[in-house]
Amino acid sequence: MNTKRRAIPISLAFAATVALTAVTLGPVIGAVKVDTSALRDAVTVDGVRAHQAAFQMHADANGGTREASSPGYFASVDYVANAMQTAGYDVTVQEFDFPFFQELEDAELEQVAPVPTVYPYFDAAGFATMEYSGSGDVMATAEGVDLVLPPGAAANTSTSGCEASDFAGFTPGNIAIIQRGTCTFALKAQNAEAAGAVGVVIFNEGQPGRTAAFVGTLGGPGSTIPVVGAAFDVGVELAAGGVTVRMFVNATSEIRTSKNVIADTPGGRDDRVVVVGAHLDSVPAGPGVQDNGSGSAAILEIALQMADLGIEPRNKVRFAWWGAEESGLLGSQHYVDNLTKREIKDIALNLNFDMIGSPNFVRFVYDGDGSATPLAGPNGSKNIESVYLNYFAKQGLPVEPTAFDGRSDYGPFIAVGIPAGGLFTGAEGIKTDEQVAIYGGTAGDQYDPCYHLACDTFDNISLTALDQNSDAVAHSVLTFAMTTSSVNGTDKGEGLGKWKDGMEYIADKLQK
């Protein structure tokens, strides 16, 4: 799952609020009743785990990772593509370029003089590396650039570093101390580098809610100097005059190549395509056998069992394994960007399964109608949600809503108006006492304690969650594969407009 560096006490640009009350039975609209028991019986935990074991083997043989441009990832691509082709699916491997960023060591920021101070890395009171920062180990005089101290009453009142003229008189070879606000971090860093800065510290603006260190992005590779985001107080100290600063960033920032695997059922209506997706890549730190080997393995086993049972879907089912999700949903975005208007219209819905076996799990269902979370999906998303609510209710299994917060591969589909839904068992969120009473597990621990770490291995799993959710995934895939109704034909919810407004707000906050 994307936007998942590490859990830190740091001020992020956006945080979604998830309701924690159990969801009860709701109506099913836009889907006929389908007997999914044979498929659910055929999809076993052992079958899903066999694919996870293969993913673990691919990582073990290739440096312990299945990052989207790594040999371990490409071995996983070959494994999935070969299995689907052998089963009789029409398989396409879609290659694309993407911006890659990885910190190789913890960054360092310190005031050398006059008051020696080491600022804490990835801490609200310290600093964090900007995504796509360049590398460097530099020591130089700090120089403030067009600062507003004290800050204005409203956010984005600072234009520090937004114009080349801000750097008139800037001393080449110094480290630029720039205030957050108005324009993108990338523009501030570009202007500083063009003026001869050897490093850039962009510190928070200073109004209430904009004081802590933050995680920002430069939008893509290009910077050749270290760039970090810092707390307001850190910036004020460094810009005081006569301050010597040392910065150290060791990172890889470059364009790389990855692949999506797309596999279609040979039959089914091609004007009502059901896209079933899961991202196949891991973060660089580990093999990603739960995130997202769980979702990837489950949809692979479902596809293979559908073929083995001879199921002929009424609607074409398109199974997709996305690359570079961990770099920003880039594989699914590439796929959607290359669809024609006709092809977009022909996709009935997108089902997304990103982490379905978290060890300290909660059964989350995406909140299609936005009734309990900030954003609704496009028309039809409510109907997808209802299929899961009814299924779990019949199994006597309580669930909770989770928000369409833009953190997984449904995002590009929703952005073009395609209904979406799916399941999730939790990442870096903390399990509550109330959730323990419902689902078991450990209060105060993350849903997935190995989230984005090297320990996300074959053993990092809840077999109970994997079993229950694999069955639910199979049920939903077959339900929509066989439906005779349009998923979005009768749903009159908030839909795309509400989603787009919310995502424009999030993107603005992330960039500035």
CA distance 141 to 122: 23
Strands 420-424 and 347-353: what pairing?
parallel
Strands 364-366 and 420-424: what pairing?
antiparallel
Is position 494 annotated as part of the catalytic site? Answer: no
SS (H, E, C) 310-340: CCCCCEEEEEEEECCHHHCCHHHHHHHHCCC
Cβ atoms of residues 405 and 391 within 8 Å: no
Residues 6 or more apart from 189 whose CB is under 8 A from it?
130, 161, 200, 202, 218, 223, 225, 227
Tokens of 223: 């910077």
Q: Of the residues 67, 193, 205, 325, which is catalytic?
A: 325
Tokens of 494: 């908030």
CA dist 326 → 221, 261, 329, 366 (Å): 16, 16, 7, 20
Tokens of 349: 């819905």
Q: How many CB atoms lie within 10 A of CB 209?
A: 9
Residue type, 374: P
CA distance 423 to 307: 23
CA distance 474 to 300: 11
Active site residues: 325
